[in-house]
Every structure is written in structure tokens, then in C-alpha cells.
Structure 1
């Protein structure tokens, strides 16, 4: 080991004394860093500059008329893209777009066809059609650009689809909301309908009985109508007879009215005569009272008084006859008008007049009788005769008063009453005549109505009979409906349905436009793509640095016999390892300070890099030191395999099966994982596993070099000497 250490110090001394060697070694130290830094910087954030990718957009949409409303989805999309900075959108004609894609001026072209809006509008029809967007891409220009532009086209489709879905669902949800409000308004009616159905279900037996009763009543009504139709001729005859009777009665009343008119003056004259006679008699008796009469004179007075009284009695008897005639007339009027009961009531004033006429006649007769008997008293005493004359005068005075009263009552009460009775009777009869005439005119219409009613009743009876025949079907359906309502009530609450239908259309529209929100939670956040690629390019630069060293520096010492193979291997390993560590320090520190890569554990990032450098150097150095030029080829082959199979750029699950198989045994796999842990955040279970595997590989390679360098070099030296004979290899 001491000799090996001396070889290491000798190499450092030689480098420090030879400025050319120092410059070359310095270049080898910095060169791998440039490889890592340039690649990391180039891949720092390529997707942030997609706005520089030219993509042509062609809008040929002609719009459409949907439910009397003009829509132009293509135009709305163009307006949206004008404010979108995801790509360099260029709006062109179809020819310009296709020529641009073909010649490479545009990476892709998106075409919105002329029927774009019209096809979207078919969603309200019975046969909706899907709208299409044409996408053209020139994939030969770049392998990544088509994927980016394809993502842009997909975003356009997603935006249009989400906007369209939100709009359509918004309209539908507004309809649902209105429907929910209407159902809520109609909920009392719905409840009433449910109650109505259940009530009908309960009433079905009574309905059946009612229908049967209607049929029976219809039959009875038809019999009555038939009977009425048969009675119509009799009604016609009775009406005609009634009219004849009324006409006869009116004639009779007219005659009676004339009789009254003729009798009325005579009755008044008789009453006035009686009144006059009674007054004269009273005056005469008063005069007699004041005169001294002898027998002869008294006979003359008595005779004159008797003549006066006899005349009054005659007039009263004529009056009684006239009043009797009037009574009979009134009774005839009332019998023709209203019947026997009212007739007796209406003749009461005439009866009272007759009674008064009789009383008056009785008083006058009493006066006459007293006057005739007074001669007997004259033969007796003179005083008694005077008393008798006084009595006669008092009777005469009372009779005069009653006669005046009777005359006044007749003029003011009896005659107006009789006239009113006649007038009322004539009016009643004329009204009755008018009504009978109207009835007579109506009889033909009644006959027509009876015929029509008979037909309608027959038709109605048939309909009711039909309903009665359909009753079993109706009974079954009503019960089914009632059972269905009960089932629905048991399964669903209509208030829940109303609550479901009622919504906030704007909120629901927003939901359907973006039904799922992706909440991204980064456990180990990586700031950008460059940071994510830093582990891969840093590890790659370390390996490349190892390849540069073994390409320019010799792994052997050309002083034969001075050092053993093992001493040379270990001594030069120290030299190569030191230069590798310097390379790694520069590249890792430069990643953090120069490029500004965000590293979660910067110290561990540097230390892990130094460990990886030692392991990589042990691998590459051992291969070249032991196998010579063959080892160089093996190191390059390992580089190629590790770039493809380590999962540094693509997930290992996406690689072919061969690379998935060799992935766990590749040093790159564990070196990149270890550096990723330092960049994103340490999970020590993973980091420890990677450390163990890397350290194990390094120990194995150094042990292999120490043990097998001398033996393998003998074989490789012969091969090397043979290859140099061609002057092609150094």
C-alpha cells in the first residue's frame, strides 16, 4: 500500500511540474461539468416555451340556428384561443395551414369544419351527431413537438366539450328547476289527486249502485215522458177550454160591470132619498113638538108622517134588493177569480151594508109603528102623547144619522170596493188569459222538448249502461292506480323529488363544466423539468468524466520491473479517483450555485455525488486497467445500456422487457435514485438500499482489479501487441 501511495504522490508531482499536463488535467476536471450543465439548462423548462410552437387554426364553422337562437361555437373558440398563450396560435385559411404544415412553418394545424355548430346543435333532436375537429401534424420535424401540439388539440376539444356540456346541462337543469317549482306549486293538487283516487277507490261500490240507479231512473223518466207525450192533446184541449171559460167570464164581468154602473146611481139616489126623508121627518117631528095639536090635526100629522116613513121603507127595500144583486155579482167575481173561501171573505162589506140597511128599515118601521099607535095614547093622557112624540122625534133623529152614515159608507167604501173587485177580477182574468195563450204557444215547443229529451235520455241511458258495462275494467284500473300510488309513497317522498329538481342552475352548470377538480398534492415537489433531470444528467456526466479520464490518461506505468501490477492498480486508482472527485465536486456544486437547481439536501447531494464518482471510477478504471482497450469498449457499452435502461428519462415500466430485466443491476439505476432522494427529499429506506448496492459494486470492482489485474493483463497484452501490428491502435 505504501508503494501505491508513493505512485499516487509521484503522479501529483509530475502533474504539478508539467504545465501541459496540468492544463489537460484541468480540462478533464471541468469538461464533464459542461456536459451536465448544458443539458440541464437546455431541459430546464421546455414546456414553459410552448407558446413559441406555431400551430395553425382554421375556422370554417358557419354557425347554426338552434331553437330560434343563432350559435357559432367555432367563432367563440377562436375568441378563446386569441387570449390563450399555451401555443403560438396562427389563424389562417385551409390552404395556408396545409402548406405551412407540409413545409414545416407550422408543427400542426387544427381545422374546425363548417358543420361544427350544427352537429353540436343536434343534441336537442332525437338523433344527435358528434362534432369533429380535424388535426394535422408533421411528425418528421421533431419527435416531441407532435406530442405537445396533440395535447394542445386535446385541450381545445376538452374546453369545447366541457363548455358545451355545461351549457346543455345548464339548460336542462334550469328546466328541472322550473319543473320542481311548478310541482311544488301543484303539490296541493297532487295531494288532492291522491286523495281523490283513494276516495274513488272507496266509493267504487256506491258508484256502481248509483250507475244502476241511474239506469232505473232513466227507465222511469222515459215512462213519464211517454205518459206526458200522450197527455199533450188533453193539455191542448184543456188550455183551449180554459181560454174559452176565461173569455166567457170576462164577458160576464163586463156585463156585471155595466150593471153596477147602471145600479150605482139608483142606489145613491135611494140612499139620498131615504136620508132626505129621515131628515124631513125629524124636522117635522120637531115642529110638531112645538105645536098644540088636537085630534083632527094629529091625524093629519100622523098620516103625513106615515106617508114619509112608508116612502123611506120602500126606498130601503129597493136598496136591499140592489145590494143583494151587488153581493151576488161580487160572489160571482170572486168565485171566478179565486174560489169559495175568498168569495165569502170578500162579500163581508156587502153583508154589513145589507145588515145596516135592514137595521135602518127596522128603525123606520119602528118609527111608523110608534106613530100609528100614538092615537091610542092621545085618547088617554096628553102628557104621554107628548112623550111619545118626543120618542118618535128621537127615533127619527137617530134614523137620520144612520141614513147619513150609511150613505157616506156606501159612497166611500162599498161602491169603491165593488168597483175594485171587478177591476181586479178583470185584470186577473186577462193575466190568466195571457198565460194560457203563452202556454198554448209553448205546447208545440214542449212537445219537441219531450221528444228531444226522450232521445237524449235514451242516449244517456246507453252511455250509463256502457259505463256500467265498463265498471269491472275501471274498478280494476282504479285499484291498480291506488296500489301504485301507495307503493310510490312507500318508496319515494315527493318532497325529496322536488328538492332534487330544485337547484342552482349556475352552480350545477359549473359542476358539469368541471365535475372533478384535481387537487394535486406533491409529496416531493420538483420545481421544474430541469431540476427533475438534474440527477440523470449529473450521474451521466460523472460516468462521462470517467470515460474521458481513461481515454486520455494511462492506467499503467511504463517503468517495467519497478512496480508490481497490484501496486500500479492501487496507485493509479488513487490518481483517477482524486480527479473524479474533483469533477464531481465541480458538477454538483455548479448544479446548485451556477444553475440554481433546487436541491432539498444540498450537502447530501454533493456527498452522494462523490460516492457515485468513486464507484463509477472503480468500475471504469478497473475495466480499462484489467482489460485494456476491451475494457474501454465495455465501459462505453455499459454507458449505452445504462442510458436506455436506468429509467433516467422514462419510467422503467415503459421500457422494453430486456431493459426492465437489467434495470436492477445497473449502477446508473441506483446512482440516479440516490441523487433524486437528495434533490426531492430523503426516504432513507430507499437511499440506504441504493447506498449498499453502490458500495457493494465498488468493493467488488476494486477487489476484482486487485486480484485479477496481473493474470488478465498477460492475455490482454498479447492481444494489444497483435492489434498494434496494424498501426491502427495506439
Structure 2
């Protein structure tokens, strides 16, 4: 029977047999049942997530951040209430646990009690993460847990973005505060520059006064030396007078005895008178020498008295210069009130300037004390020692008070330095934490932000280093202040105990030496101050609210300078007292000289009387009684004169020792004044550097304020910090939903199952007639299968397109490719079942399973086991899925035609296999029948 006749008979038998027709009709709908039901069920499951119950438990207790309460957990709950991603149910922990165990909830989201408190630790040394606990019930449904995990990651990103935005706002607010502080610091530094200029002018005037005093001190030294020389001569003359008087006193006794014996012999009287006459000549010579020595003492005192006016003038000029310094400092105080904040280095430098000024004040007080001690020493020669002793403790107390004030300022500077070092450390930690946050950003944003962070790290490191150096300097300065106080107290105590012996001049030497040492330390501190000002340009970001302490220090400096001026006034008054004492000493010396003149005249008169007595010995006898009375009176007068002369000699010795020490002290005073003048010059030079450095500081602070002021935070900036990366999605061949994406896979599955079921309801081996050949047998069977395959593909396509609404790139190509796919699967099933019968169906099922795993319809080929991947290229479903993806989604019709070509190869090859099987079967079953039919024909 020819193939066309056999094919018609196959259709006729199908139509006549309801047992075959009905199952075939049912098989026509198998592909759509598979594909349609799956696609309908999984068309867009994410639209139904709001029906998926998820438990939310909020255990957050809240926290306080920057003085404000925050509740991050409550904010997250409020956001979830507005979020329709899931069916959020906000329950207690007990209810959530019960619901998870009862399979009511697919997952649990728990906000721990430390959620808010951990959010405040970002800028601390040990920041803690915000642990959002996600507990999926994977045994209930694994895919729901995967979907939930994705949602939790999104929630995590939103919370992280909110926190980052909050900290970014805080950071930019801090930058604005720094900018304002820099601007205020620049303005204050400018005013400091003006004040330091005025201070430099005052210091120059102080230096001029010291130079004037330095020039006059040499003349004072010469006068004191002359006074000492004259006093030495006076002592020598007074000693000779005393010796002569003692000799005279001893002879008066003999004279009395001689008068007694005069009665016995005038010869002995004449001899005694001659002896007396020879001794009066020696007495007159001694008195003359005493008069000469006293005159020289008087001249020396007059010379000293003439030079004290110049010394008073120098002290007055020093006092005027100190008043100008005080005025300059008061102006600086009035202007420094506007300074609000400054850098730590600036504050430390000014504290050192204050400390140096304190040392200058102490040194001035030491000069004052030394001059007062010298004044009291001179007064001790003129019986003024008690007044000096009464003033000594008061001056020492004043010095101690100033040193204590300097020590308190040094301690205050040390505390400020330590506080600044702590602030610098916190700033450095803030920058380090911000660095960690930036490191979590993408590389391109790290490159944009890294220069600012690097600059901040360097600035904070410089500030920490300078703060540590200043702290060491203040500790050393504090120790030097304490040591200076101890030595001054020791020296002044020793000097006070020895004051009656005029040893205080030695303490003056020690005090002047300590003054020189303190002045040297002052210069060193000012030099360190200039160095720190130069380094401050690298650490301008370290401004803190320390201007108040700087203003206090300047006020203290002004007060101290005022006290220096007052001390110089006391020095001037003491100098006036010294002038008065010198005047009194000069007057006393003149009186001594006058008395010696009177004594000399009396001695001449006595010599004349002795001569007369010798000449008129005849009258001796007559006036012997009168002579005896006069001799007794003369003996008493000579005794009194000898005693007075001894006292004069002792007083002149004391005066001579005091003047010698005064001469030594004047030398030491001159050396101290010279050193003070040199130190004042160095102070003036240091103030020049301060002036230059403060000007540069003002300029650099202004630049820093301008640059930091340009950094402004806006909502866009905060959003950039919170979400620096925006994902721009450009979909290539967009797939709108799960249904569209799975259409190639499920349609291929449905068509394969339809072909497999068709092999069950329709006999592929049995024939309704005797085929002429294996080929005609194949045509009769394949013709039926071809018709059913086309119909079931069209039915499935129509329902998918118009029932479910699958959107494709081309409906004709979609239908065409579905038909080719259906025929490819039918050719495969026909070949297997024809060749192997029921075993062929089993092989077809195995083939279906392998195709489902290797066709890349669900997961990409690269994600399946390596062992299965080679099967991908050898099975038809791989190409059916790829071709349908091109038609449904990408629109790459060239790729579609490539897959059509491969499927056609499968159809041809498998059909040839079926023909071969049927030909072999035909030879076995119908060979004889076919030959007989041929003969009959």
C-alpha cells in the first residue's frame, strides 16, 4: 500500500476509533496544561510578597547621642510599617517564637536591645556594628528565605545609609565650626600682632633706661671707691690721734707727780716741761694728719652725693619705661578680649611669653631688693640698719608671691596643654574612624575623599606632637620656678640674718645672678615660642576654645608689669633715702673735721702754754697751786678726749668696712645691670620674632578659614556620603516577570511531555495496512504525529499569548519555532519508541530529566555540575529553550534561526533513525506479504 493511501487510512481509523481519538484530543492540551499551569502559578510571585507573613520583634532600648535621645529600632519599625514588601507583623518575642514553631511565619526579623546604643559608637575607639538578626524558617520554604535574605540586605542598606547621612551631617557641622574658629583665630592673631608691636616698643624703652642706668653706675662705683680710700686714710689718722692722746694721758700723771716734786726742785719742773713741750709737737702732727684724713673722707662723701642724682635719674627713666610697657600690655589686654579661640600651639607660646614676663618681673624685684639691701647697708653706717631690717621680710614676701603666681601660671599652662593633647587625640580618632568608613566605599570615591582625610591625619599628628613638646617645656619651666624660689628664699634668709654685719651685699650678688639666669630662660622661651609659631601653619586645624585662658594670661602679665612699675617706684624711693643717708654721712664727716680743727687749735694753745711755763718757771712756784688744779682738769679732759678718739677710730673702722663692701657691691650691681641690659636686648629681639610670627599666623589662619569655609554640607552632599553609589540598570532584552522568563523552559517541557503521552495513546509501531516499505510506514505514522504536533503547539501558543498575556518579539516566529520544537520532540520520541518500544519511552523519560537539568532553562549552565554540562550540546531542549528566549525576550532572530537549523538537524537525523527501524521491522514482518501483493498487481 502506497504511503498516501496508508496515511489516509491512519486518519480514518483514528476518527472511527473513539479510544484513540479522545486520548489524542486530550494529548493536544497536555503542553498547555504543563506550560500554562506552571506559568500561571509562577507568573509574578514577587507581587504577592505582601501576603507572606514575617514576624518583627523590636527589643531596642534606645540611646542618647549628642545629648539627644535616638531610637533607631523604632525608626526601622516605622519604615517597615510603610513598606509593603512583606506582610509585616509586629509582635513580641514570645509570640514570634511560637509563630515560627507553628509554621505561621516564614521568617523572623529581630532588632536587639543594643541596636541604638551601637549606632552611637561609630566615632569611638571600639565601634560596634548594628546587629539586625534575621531568622528564616527554611524548612517551611527555602525560596522564601532566599527572598527574605535579599529584602533584609536592602533594609540593612537603608539603615546604613541613614546612619552614614547622620554622621556626615555631624562631620560637616564640625568643619563649619572649625572654619569659624579659624576666622576668629585669624582676627585675634592680627590683634595679637598689633599688641606685640606695642609691647616691642615698650621693651625698647625699658632697654634704653637700662642702658642709661648702666652708664651712670660706673660713676657711682668711682665715687664709692674714693669714699672708701678717704675712709681708710681717716682711720689711719684717727689711730694716730688716739695714740697721741693716750701718750698725753699717761704723761699727765707724771706731770702731776712732777708738780708735786716741783716744790722740791725747779730743775725737775723744767725738764718735765721740756719733755711735755716735745710731746705736744707730736700731738700736733697727729692731729694734722687726722684733719687731712677727715677732709678726704668728706670729699669722697661729697663726690658720692653728687653722683646719686644721676643714679636717681636712671632709675626714673627705668620707671618711665616700665610704665610704658604696662600701658602697652593694658592695650593688648583691651584688644585681646575679642579673641575667642586659637590654636594649641599659639596658646602654649603665649603661656611661655607670660612665663618669661613673670621671670622678668621677678628679676626686676630682685634688682629692687638688692638695691634696697645696698641702701640699708649704707644706712647701717649712718645708724639706719633697723629700717632696712623691717622692710626686708616684706620685700621677700612680695618676691615669693610673684614666684608663686608664675608657678600657678605654669601649672595652668600644663593643664591646658594636657587638655589640648586629649582633644587632639580625639580628633585623630574621629579622623581614623572616618577613614574606616571611607575605605568601605568604592575605589573612585575613596580617591576623591582620601586627600582630605590625609590632610586631616597630618594636621592632627602635628598638633599631638607640638602639644607633647609644649607639655615637656612647661614641666621643666615649673621645676626651674620652684628651684629659683628656694634659692632666693635661702639667700635672702642668710642675708637677713647677717644684715647687721653688712653681709647682705653678698646676697645681692646671688640675687643678681639669679636674675641673669631667669632672664636667659626668658629669652629661650621666647625663641621656642617663635619656632612653634612657624610650625603652627601645619596644624591650623587644631583650634579649640582656649582664648579665655590666653586672655587671662595676658591680664596676669599686665598685672605683673604694673607691679614691676610699682617696684621701680619703691626703688626710686629707696634711692632717695640712700641720697639722704649719704648727705647725713657727709654732714657728719664735716663735723668730725671741724672738731679735729678745734682739737688742733687747742693743742697749739697747749704747746704755747708749756713754752710760757718753761720761760716763766719763776712764776711756777707762785702758781703751783693753780697749776695743780689745772693739771687735774687737763688729765680729765685728756681722758675724755682719748675715749672720744677711740670711739671715733672704732666708728671709722666700721665705716671703712661698710664702704669697702659697698664698693664690692657696686661692682656686682654694675655687672647685674649689664646682664639685665643684655637680656633686655634679647627680649626686644624675641618680641620682633613674636611680631613677625603673629603676622604670619594671622595670614595662615585666614587662609585656613577661607579654605574650610568653602567646604559646605548640603542634602545632596549628605546623600552622597550615605549612598555614594547609584546603580543605573540598563536592561538588555528586558524580561518583565517570572512568567515571561520561564516561558521557553515550561513550553519546551510541555511539548516534550505532550509528545511522550502521544506515544502512549497512539500506536507508533502498529499499522492499519501493509506498508509498501519502511519509508511508507514512516510517512503514515509521522504524518499523524506531524498533524498532532502542529496542533498542540498552536493550541499552547494561543493560550499563552492571549490567555496569560505572554509578550513576544514576533508572534509568527514564536508559533513557527514552537511547531519546530514540537516536531523535534516528536521525532525523538518516535525514534526511541519505534526502535525500543516501552524501553524507548523509559529512555525518553531519562532524556527529559537530563534535558531539564542541562538545558539552562532555570540556572545558567555554568552553575550546574561539571559532569552534566557536556550533555547540554547533545539534546534538543537546549536549542528549543535558547531559540524561544530569542523569540520571546531578546529579539535576536538570527540566533533563533541558528537554533531552528539545529532542531531541523535533530528532526532529520531522528527521522532517518525511525525510517531505519521501520525498514528493518518491515523486512521482518511484511516482506512476503509485500512480494505477493506486488505479484498480484
| TM-score after normalising by structure 1 | 0.60
Match of 2:520 among 439, 462, 468: 468
Contact 1:627 1:713 in 2 (8 A): no
Output the CA distance in 2 between the equivalents of 1:81 and 1:616: 50
Cα 1:443/1:712, change in 2 over 3 Å: farther
1:543 aligns with 2:752: yes
1:602 aligns with 2:811: yes
Output the CA distance in 1 between the equivalents of 2:737 and 2:907: 32
State the match for 1:8 in structure 2.
7
1:621 aligns with 2:836: no
Output the CA distance in 2 between the equivalents of 1:455 and 1:689: 116
SS at match of 1:89: strand
Map Cα deviations across residues 78-114 of structure 1 (whole Å, 9 max, x no partner).
2222222111111222221111111111112222222
Output the CA distance in 2 between the equivalents of 1:550 and 1:610: 17
State the match for 2:31 in structure 1.
32
Match of 2:907 among 698, 710, 718: 698
Output the CA distance in 2 between the equivalents of 1:191 and 1:49: 70
Map Cα deviations across residues 673-705 of structure 1 (whole Å, 9 max, x no partner).
111111112234533442332222222222233
Contact 1:215 1:465 in 2 (8 A): no
Output the CA distance in 1 between the equivalents of 2:42 and 2:783: 35
The Cα shift of 1:561 comes to 4.9
Contact 2:10 2:768 in 1 (8 A): no
The Cα shift of 1:494 comes to 5.6
SS at match of 1:582: helix
Output the CA distance in 2 between the equivalents of 1:637 and 1:87: 40
Output the CA distance in 1 between the equivalents of 2:50 and 2:921: 58
1:352-363 alignment, distance < 5 Å: none
Contact 2:376 2:388 in 1 (8 A): no
1:314-393 alignment, distance < 5 Å: none
Output the CA distance in 2 between the equivalents of 1:108 and 1:596: 33
Contact 1:569 1:625 in 2 (8 A): no
Contact 1:628 1:716 in 2 (8 A): no
Map Cα deviations across residues 270-292 of structure 1 (whole Å, 9 max, x no partner).
xxxxxxxxxxxxxxxxxxxxxxx
The Cα shift of 1:617 comes to 1.7
1:518 aligns with 2:517: no
Instruction: Single out whichever of 137-146 and 631-640 deviates more from structure 2.
Output: 137-146
Cα 1:522/1:555, change in 2 over 3 Å: same
Instruction: Single out whichever of 176-185 and 49-58 deviates more from structure 2.
Output: 176-185
Cα 1:462/1:615, change in 2 over 3 Å: farther
State the match for 1:149 in structure 2.
148
State the match for 1:176 in structure 2.
175
**Relative contact order (alpha carbons < 8 A, sep ≥ 6): 1 or 2 greater?**
2
1:630 aligns with 2:682: no
Cα 1:527/1:234, change in 2 over 3 Å: same
Cα 1:217/1:476, change in 2 over 3 Å: closer
CA RMSD of aligned residues (A): 4.5
Output the CA distance in 2 between the equivalents of 1:62 and 1:488: 41
The Cα shift of 1:216 comes to 12
State the match for 2:870 in structure 1.
661
1:533 aligns with 2:742: yes
Output the CA distance in 2 between the equivalents of 1:456 and 1:650: 102
SS at match of 1:109: strand
1:61-72 alignment, distance < 5 Å: 61-72=60-71
Output the CA distance in 1 between the equivalents of 2:161 and 2:132: 15
State the match for 1:395 in structure 2.
none
Map Cα deviations across residues 566-594 of structure 1 (whole Å, 9 max, x no partner).
32123311221221111111112221111
Instruction: Single out whichever of 64-73 and 84-93 deviates more from structure 2.
Output: 64-73
Cα 1:190/1:113, change in 2 over 3 Å: same
Output the CA distance in 2 between the equivalents of 1:186 and 1:62: 42
Map Cα deviations across residues 197-223 of structure 1 (whole Å, 9 max, x no partner).
999xxxxxxxxxx9x999999998887
SS at match of 1:135: strand
Output the CA distance in 1 between the equivalents of 2:527 and 2:72: 56
Output the CA distance in 2 between the equivalents of 1:488 and 1:714: 105
SS at match of 1:594: helix
Contact 2:64 2:117 in 1 (8 A): yes
Contact 1:525 1:680 in 2 (8 A): yes
State the match for 2:86 in structure 1.
87
Contact 1:215 1:464 in 2 (8 A): no
Output the CA distance in 2 between the equivalents of 1:191 and 1:714: 118
Contact 2:179 2:708 in 1 (8 A): yes
SS at match of 2:2: helix
SS at match of 2:141: coil
Map Cα deviations across residues 489-540 of structure 1 (whole Å, 9 max, x no partner).
9x99965993487222533332233222211111111121111111111111
State the match for 2:794 in structure 1.
585
Instruction: Single out whichever of 475-484 and 679-688 deviates more from structure 2.
Output: 475-484
SS at match of 2:121: helix
1:247-286 alignment, distance < 5 Å: none
| TM-score after normalising by structure 2 | 0.47
Map Cα deviations across residues 412-447 of structure 1 (whole Å, 9 max, x no partner).
xxxxxxxxxxxxxxxxxxxxxxxxxxxxx9997799
Contact 1:61 1:74 in 2 (8 A): yes
Contact 1:555 1:572 in 2 (8 A): yes
Output the CA distance in 2 between the equivalents of 1:663 and 1:496: 68
**Matched pairs, number:** 502
Cα 1:461/1:92, change in 2 over 3 Å: farther
Output the CA distance in 1 between the equivalents of 2:392 and 2:378: 12
Output the CA distance in 2 between the equivalents of 1:708 and 1:57: 66
Output the CA distance in 2 between the equivalents of 1:198 and 1:93: 57
Output the CA distance in 1 between the equivalents of 2:755 and 2:921: 21
SS at match of 2:128: coil
State the match for 1:43 in structure 2.
42
Contact 2:363 2:518 in 1 (8 A): no
The Cα shift of 1:608 comes to 1.4
Cα 1:190/1:450, change in 2 over 3 Å: closer
State the match for 2:850 in structure 1.
641
Contact 1:619 1:698 in 2 (8 A): yes
Contact 1:3 1:571 in 2 (8 A): no
The Cα shift of 1:227 comes to 4.7
The Cα shift of 1:555 comes to 1.2
Output the CA distance in 1 between the equivalents of 2:860 and 2:110: 34
Cα 1:220/1:462, change in 2 over 3 Å: closer
Output the CA distance in 1 between the equivalents of 2:902 and 2:702: 67
SS at match of 2:868: helix
Map Cα deviations across residues 362-420 of structure 1 (whole Å, 9 max, x no partner).
xxxxxxxxxxxxxxxxxxxxxxxxxxxxxxxxxxxxxxxxxxxxxxxxxxxxxxxxxxx
Tell me, which stretches of 5 or more residues in structure 1 are unaligned? 200-209, 238-440, 718-730
Instruction: Single out whichever of 500-509 and 595-604 deviates more from structure 2.
Output: 500-509
Output the CA distance in 1 between the equivalents of 2:158 and 2:60: 17
State the match for 2:887 in structure 1.
678
Tell me, which stretches of 5 or more residues in structure 2 are unaligned? 194-342, 347-356, 400-505, 542-699, 927-937
SS at match of 1:657: coil
